[in-house]
Structure 1
Amino acid sequence: MKELQYLNKYFIKYKFQFLLGILITVAAQIFSLFAPELIRESIQSIEKFFKQDNVPAEVIKTQLINNMWLIIATTLIAGVLTFLMRQTLIVMSRHIEFDLKNEIFRHYERLSQNFYKRNRTGDLMNRISEDVNKVRQYVGPAIMYSLNTIVRFVVVITHMLIISKELTLYTLLPLPVLAFSIFKISTEINRRSTLYQQNLSKLSTFTQEMFSGIRVIKAYALEKQKQDDFTTLSRDSVAKNMSLARVNALFGPLMILLIGISNLVVVYVGGMMYVNGSIDSLGVIAQFILYINMLTWPVASLGWISSMVQEAEASQARINEFLKTDPEIKNTAETHTAVLGHIEFDHVTFTYEDTNITALKNISFKVKKGETLAILGRTGSGKSTVLSLISRLYDAEEGAVLIDGEDVRKVNLNDLRNSIGFVPQDAFLFSDTIKNNIKFGNEEATDAEVTEAAKKAAVHDNITAFNKQYETILGERGITLSGGQKQRVSIARALIKDAPVLLLDDCLSAVDTETEEAILNNLLEFCRDKTTIIVSHRVSSAKNADRIIILDEGEIIQQGTHNQLVNEAGYYKELYLKQLSEKELL
């Protein structure tokens, strides 16, 4: 259970509820002992009536009625205490589940881009849902029934030993067999549970990818193939689950068999002891049978508890694997940093760890506050990498990225990212209203500010054409909108943030040239006092920039203004003439 030791901090946090649950459990078990004791006394009273003629029947009747009411009262009290025990410990487990999910989610948010490249979404979701649920079963029902079992065993067996040590020892003979069986079966459950959870992650990942890419599947008529793939994964999942269920199924019959053997031992040994006078009443045998049956559920639950603990151990190991992963990008500055917008790359080299591709090779440039820099180049030349390094999605392996003369790694990470309005190449929108998607850049923005940002992004007219306008609910990843509309809503989201730095990563690729021109004209006034970096494949997006740099295979091969570059032989002039001729053809 070393992996589950991670949860000890939560037991400390909720120690008062935990201790209260233990006290209530002890009280409930003490009250449950009264019924067997009262039944023994009742049987002894009846035996005395038949053995001694001088005991009045009314006295026996009164005693039996009193015992009956006492049994009802103590059973009700034990029931109420059991209810309170469940309320205390199960509610505590829900609080721990809440805290653990939030801790995992916060950790997910802190982890770097490379982590998300290495791990699939379905697996991440499975660990924060299915695995946490398995862990909750441990901190809730498993702990509760374990306490219940331990306390009942201690209380009941202590009482049995007081009555008759010999009969107790005979009764408990099957327990070593039970302990060994639980150990062997639990080990197998742990192994099979781990395999099942791993397969469940694969299944979750597959379905998540299929739902996200349903348009591609339909376009290529791959429904049958993907259905077959899903069926194969499902059958594998069923096989592993059934394998786990078969082992779990051994517990119940095994427990019942051992309890049955104990009852037979009590009847036989107890009967022989009554015959030879070692015990003085048949009520003792009845009391022992009741005690054995009181132990039936705790003993039977040992298998269930063991199964839950083993499954929780396997799940917590998967959770700990991610929780122990340190984010590569860390906030090293505790004090707040004011970001003005002066950006400098000083001999920066960067290689992607997952592909080993060197995206940038010893590049240097400066962008002053309020200036606009355009970056052009072929696909894979390193343009987007420049923006990723500025916002510290990655850190440079050589050289330094400087913000206002300070190494970006020494700047407060939250302040840095709050000072950047970023429009990614692949516009991502949430399954929410258009208004809320725009307000994602500034949650305090008014409706008027949302409308103004949409107008600047040239998407206001498209939005007002919808039935619910700004209250239109978007599908997953913004599937309701066209590619150009998604890009423009994403631009509006960055504009409403009104940050001192604006990064635009080829975010006009899906809009027509007329709309592009309108957006760029709006940005001219908006970006007058902001540091703006535009990544693009179009000369039209770059021509108004204060400076343009051309990247090729991670190196700067040209830089200057639009007028300088169009008069200079090279990539920019070729691109300009090509796009100019295409525009004339249109």
Structure 2
Amino acid sequence: MKELKHLNKYFKKYWLKLLMGVLITIIARVFSLIMPSYVSKSIQAIEKFVANSISISEAKELLFGYILIIIGAALLSGLFTFLMRQTIINVSRYIEYDLKNEVFDHYQILNLSFYKKNRIGDLMNRISEDINQVRMYAGPAIMYGINTLTMFVCIIPLMFIKAPTLASYTLIPLPILSVLIYQISKIIHKRSTKVQEYLSTLSTFAQESFSGVAVIKAYSLEPKINSEINTLANQGKDTSMDLAKVNAWFFPLMILLIGISNIFVIYIGGKQYINGEITSIGIIAEFILYVNMLTWPVAIVGWLTSIIQRAEASQKRINEFLKVQPDIRNEVAEITPIVGDIEFKNVSFTYDDTNITALDNVSFNIKAGQTVAILGKTGAGKSTILDLVARLYDASSGEVLIDGIPAQKLNLDNLRSAIGAVPQDAFLFSDTIENNIRFGNEDATFDEIVSVAKKAVVHKNIEGFSKKYDTILGERGITLSGGQKQRVSIARALLKNPNIYLFDDCLSAVDTETEEEILNNLKQVSHSKTTLIVSHRVSSAKNADKIIVLENGRIIQEGTHEELNNIDGYYKELYLNQLSEKE
């Protein structure tokens, strides 16, 4: 159970409620133990009446009193059992809530490279299915474990006090049960891990299939996908059946062993009664009730073992991710205001997952308030520059300076709060258009949202929808066209009103007329703001204060539109080609 030690901090947090739950559990079980002894006393009262030791009125009075005690004890036991669930099970929900938040918070601080190496379906499964398995350990397992322990601690001594020999024979099957549980538990642990791994695979496959349903339909891949899901389903069935087959041994074995205990009670107890070693048949009835009261606690031992093994396997998977430490950390606690000066000093960067060198000894300087365009072929390293400015990655070598300070020595929250980024592949949430734009500034008014939408030249499109700004977008904004998604993302960045704008080829899906209108609006809005524009179009770059041209991770040209257009090179060739295409 070493992996489950991670939950100890939560048990300490809710120790008072857990302690109350344990005490209530013990009280509930103590009240339930009253019934067997009073059933025995009731049988003894009848025996005394039969033997003419007491009158019928005295027998009735005794039986009536015993019945009232049995009913009262049962009601009190039921009440405390209800309170037991209200305390311990509620604590398990609190722990589930805290653990999900811990995992989600950790997910958010991990690097982009982590998400490139791990599938979304697997991440989702660990925060949902795995944590649910852990919750079963933090609640039901504790509750039933205390319940079982209390029953053993209370019932077994009572049995030995009342009839030692009979108790010894009755409890013979329990050690055998313990050995069987230990052996089966090891098998359950291994098979539980396989089941959880399969669920992650299934979640990943389903998530990717649903996200890529348009491609699946376009290429008529439905038969292939159905075949693959069928294969996965059969694998899952086999894996789950392997676990179920082991679990299926628990209850039959326990019922068998409890049945053997009942036989011992009747046979040994009967012999002792005949021999006069037991004075009343009520003792035998009491023992049968004790044995049957032990049936569920003994049976639950196997179920508890299964829960704990599943929780151990799930917590191990959760801990694997919680132990992953982000390379990008906020090492600065104090506030560091951002003005907007950006400088790259001999910066090189290589992606860990692909080992591709995106930047090779790149150096340039951007003054606060300047607009700089970055051009180059696909894979030249343009987007990597923006990622390094936002400190989504740290340079492999060299320095990225913001306001003359290395990016690592700035407060990470302050740095990113000062940046408004618009990626090429615009990401929108499954929410209203208004809320997607408001994501840039939660305190913005509706008028401000409309204003930035107009500047992003998307207001008319939104007004054309039946619900306008209240239109609910599909997953990843599938309701909108590519150009509309880009413009909504631009509006979101404008609403943030940051000191640094990062536009990553965010006009690639709009026509040239709309692009020109947006660029004119951006020029007004980004006045006095540092702006980096990555583009494949000269039209997006020609009005910039500086243009940087990259090739294979190196700067091959740098200057203004006029300067670069007056010399032969990549920029002039690109400008002439795009000019002729436009004509």
* TM-score, normalised relative to structure 1: 0.99
Q: Which residue of 1 aligns with 2:114?
A: 115
Cα distance in 2 between the residues matched to 1:175 and 1:36: 21
How far did residue 277 of structure 1 move?
2.1
Question: How do 1:256-271 residues align onto structure 2 when only pairs under 5 Å count?
Answer: 256-271=255-270
Matches within 5 A, 1:500-515: 500-515=499-514
> How many angstroms apart in 1 are the aligned matches of 2:379 and 2:326?
26
Match for residue 329 of structure 2?
A: 330
Q: In the TM superposition, what whole-angstrom CA distance separates every residue of 1:84-131 from its partner, at most 9, and x where no partner exists?
A: 111111111111111111111100001110100000000000000000
Partner AA of 2:151 in structure 1 = R
Pairs within 5 Å for 1:537-548: 537-548=536-547
Distance 2:247 2:478 in 1: 44
Matched, 1:422 2:391: no
Distance in 2, matches of 1:452 and 1:50, equals 97
Match of 1:39 in 2: 39
Aligned partner letter, 1:46? I
Distance 1:29 1:195 in 2: 37
Superimposed CA distance per residue, residues 529-553 of structure 1 (whole angstroms, 9 cap, x where no aligned partner) = 1000000000000000000010000
The one-character-per-residue Cα deviations of 1:157-184 (angstroms, maximum 9, x if unpaired) are 1211211222111111001110011111
Query: 1:394 corresponds to which residue?
Result: 393
Within 5 A, what are the aligned runs for 1:11-26?
11-26=11-26
Within a 5 Å distance, the mapping from 1:5-84 to structure 2 comes to 5-51=5-51, 53-84=52-83
- Kindly provide the CA deviation profile for residues 39-97 of structure 1, in whole angstroms up to 9, marking residues without a partner as x: 1111112222222x352111111101110111000111011111111111111111111
- Tell me the secondary structure at the aligned position of residue 474 of structure 1: coil
For residues 143 and 33 of structure 1, the distance between their equivalents in structure 2, rounded to whole angstroms, comes to 21
**Counterpart residue type for residue 579 of structure 1:** Q
Report Cα offsets for 1:466-512 as digits up to 9, x if no partner.
11111111110000000000000000000000000000000000000
Give, in angstroms, the shift of residue 245 of structure 1. Answer: 1.0
The count of corresponding residues between Structure 1 and Structure 2 is: 583
**Is 1:443 matched up with 2:439?**
no
Whole-Å Cα distance in 2 between the matches of residues 37 and 195 of structure 1?
47
Alignment deviations for residues 159-218 of structure 1 (CA, whole Å, 9 cap, x no partner): 112112221111110011100111111111111111111011111100100110111111
Give the distance between the partners of 1:82 and 1:521, measured in 2 at CA.
Answer: 71
Cα shift at 1:579: 0.3
Which whole-Å CA distance do the structure 2 matches of 1:453 and 1:123 have between them? 37
One-letter amino acid of the structure 2 residue matched with residue 473 of structure 1? I
Give, as a single letter, the amino acid of the residue that structure 2 aligns with 1:223.
E
Unpaired runs of at least 5, structure 1: none
User: After alignment, is 122-131 or 244-253 more displaced?
Assistant: 244-253
1:406-463, Cα deviation, whole Å (9 max, x unpaired) = 1001100111000000001110000001111011000111111101101111111111
SS state of the match for residue 374, structure 1? strand
Counterpart residue identity of residue 18, structure 1: L
Matched residue, 2:376:
377
- Distance in 2 between residues matched to 1:55 and 1:578, nearest whole Å: 117
Corresponding residue number in structure 2 for 1:465: 464
What CA distance in whole angstroms lies between the structure 2 residues aligned with 1:167 and 1:414? 71
Show the counterpart of 2:205. 206
Moved more, 483-492 or 236-245: 236-245
SS of 1:543's partner is coil
> Residue 141 of structure 1 aligns with which residue?
140
For residues 531 and 227 of structure 2, what CA distance do their matches in structure 1 show? 49
User: Secondary structure at 1:559's aligned position in 2?
Assistant: strand
Aligned pairs (5 A) from 1:143-542: 143-542=142-541
Matches of 1:140 and 1:452 in 2, distance apart?
Answer: 51
Distance 2:159 2:9 in 1: 37
How far apart, in 2, do the equivalents of 1:360 and 1:191 lie? Answer: 45
**C-alpha separation in 2, matches of 1:185 and 1:547:** 71
Looking at structure 1, the residues matched to 457 and 54 of structure 2 have their Cα atoms a distance apart, in angstroms, of 103
Give me the whole-angstrom Cα distance separating, in 2, the residues matched to 1:272 and 1:54.
25
Cα distance in structure 2, aligned partners of 1:357 and 1:151: 62
Distance (Å, rounded) in 2 between the aligned partners of 1:368 and 1:233: 55
- Tell me the secondary structure at the aligned position of residue 295 of structure 1: helix
For 2:121, the aligned partner's letter is: G
Distance 2:406 2:262 in 1: 77
Structure 1 counterpart SS, 2:472? coil
Aligned to 1:545, the other structure's residue is in SS state: coil
CA distance in 1, matches of 2:58, 2:21: 41
In structure 1, C-alpha distance between the alignment counterparts of 2:111 and 2:369, rounded to whole Å: 30
Q: Distance in 2 between matches of 1:118 and 1:497?
A: 31
Name the aligned partner's letter for residue 554 of structure 2.
E
Distance 1:72 1:28 in 2: 14
Distance 1:283 1:54, change over 3 A: closer
1:366 is paired with a residue whose SS is strand
Alpha-carbon separation, structure 1, partners of 2:409 and 2:227: 52
2: CA distance between counterparts of 1:54 and 1:416?
A: 93
Amino acid at match of 1:198: E
Matched letter for residue 204 of structure 2: T
Aligned to 1:130: 129
Which residue of structure 2 lines up, in the alignment, with residue 88 of structure 1?
Answer: 87
Please give the alpha-carbon distance, in whole angstroms, between the structure 2 residues aligned to 1:523 and 1:545. 11
2: CA distance, partners of 1:568 / 1:169: 102
Q: Which amino acid aligns with 1:567?
A: N
Instruction: Report the counterpart of residue 2 of structure 2 in structure 1.
Output: 2
